[in-house]
Amino acid sequence: MKKIKISIAFMVFLFLVSSLSLGQTQSSGELTKITIAKSESAMGIQIELDKALKYESFPLLNPNRLVIDFPQVVKFSCDPLTEVNDFGVLTIRVAKFKPDVTRVVFNLADKRPSYTFRENERALNVIFWLEEEKEKPAVKKEPERQIEERAVEKKPSGLFEEMTISIGVNSGLYFFHSTDFQNIYGESIVFFGGETTVLVSPSKNNYIGASLGAKYISKSGVNHHSERVELTIIPVSISAFYLRQFKTFSPYIGVGLDYYDYKETFPDAADIPTISSYPWGTHVQVGTYLRLASSLSLKVYFKYYEARAKEGGVEKNLGGNEYGLSLAYHFKI
């Protein structure tokens, strides 16, 4: 019955994770402003959003146009039509392309101007100049927001974006605090497990997260009566943590609550062939994600567990130190 409850709790958690993911995907944004800055040799047009910048662009012919789509931007508060008639740009049109996509179209002259994109966190600058110019000229700065002078390189994406869901498998060693367990099963036991994690960013490179994980610990030993005994412990853990993202690694610290399925099996001739209990415990953890690829990481971590089970008036200390490695795949939403 207990194992069924654990399974139901795990399914509910996955449902909540899916709901949270869907809610994030449908999050709305707004295109708030379009401003124009000119110099003698170039023109910069800045498109401002109220959320992190994501866009797709492509040119069209007959007539000449430059199209920029902003996904998850559901409305705009700027003018739908702006007359420009300079540097090869005739007009700027803004409209809803899809319910969750806002489209900006630059209508261009027959002699197409050259252009480049420059980005910052919540704005896209489009720089236009005529083909006669051999070098990309500097653009006059706006009073409130400067159009960047250097060409923008794509930021190296980190492991985590505004919202990320991770699925990982882990293994390592569990060291018991209890000398009774150490005498029977040895100081450490190899474990295997898995974990699902949700990370949300309240500010740049700072994340708060929650995870649900389970591991399997099992080993045989010989007690002081020279009897062969089997130990099985299955902790299910819910954790909350804070993470700071850097370019190649992301350290974190967290706390959590644990639910144990604990069982010791003795020979059939023993007075009590099986001892089982389902206690609660707590843990603290520290670790870091090491980036292997754009969506893959290796997590190195340490956890300290506190948990005690009582069965037949005898207290069992299930707590221990866990040293583990986890290979995680990240879905960026």
User: pLDDT tier at 21 (50, 70, 90 boundaries)?
Assistant: very low
Residues 239 and 111 in one domain: no
Q: pTM of the predicted model, to two decimals?
A: 0.54
Q: Which of 220, 317, 238 is nearest to 17 (CA)?
A: 238
Residue 209's pLDDT is: 94
Please say whether the beta carbons of 232 and 218 come within 8 A.
yes
Range of the domain at 256: 159-332
Say how far apart CA 151 and CA 117 lie, in whole Å: 8
Residues 125 and 165 in one domain: no
CATH number at residue 232: 2.40.160.20
What pLDDT, in 10s, does the model give residues 169-178? 999 999 999 8
Mean per-residue pLDDT over the chain, rounded: 84
Residue 326 counted as domain residue: yes
* Residue 112 CB-density burial (10 A; 0-12 exposed, 13-18 middle, 19+ buried): middle
**Pairing assessment for the beta strands 206-222 and 314-317 based on DSSP bridges:** unpaired
Q: What is the CA radius of gyration of the chain?
A: 29
Residues 303 and 251 in one domain: yes
Please say whether the beta carbons of 322 and 331 come within 8 A.
no
Q: What's the average model confidence in pLDDT over 263-274?
A: 76
CATH number at residue 87: 2.60.40.3500
Please say whether the beta carbons of 200 and 209 come within 8 A.
yes
**Residue holding tokens 């497990």?**
193
* Domain total in the chain: 2
Residue 316's pLDDT is: 84
Please say whether the beta carbons of 69 and 101 come within 8 A.
yes
Local structure of 10: helix, strand or coil: helix
Q: At residue 112, does pLDDT exceed 60?
A: yes
Residue 142 counted as domain residue: no
Q: Which of 191, 207, 213, 218 is nearest to 323 (CA)?
A: 191
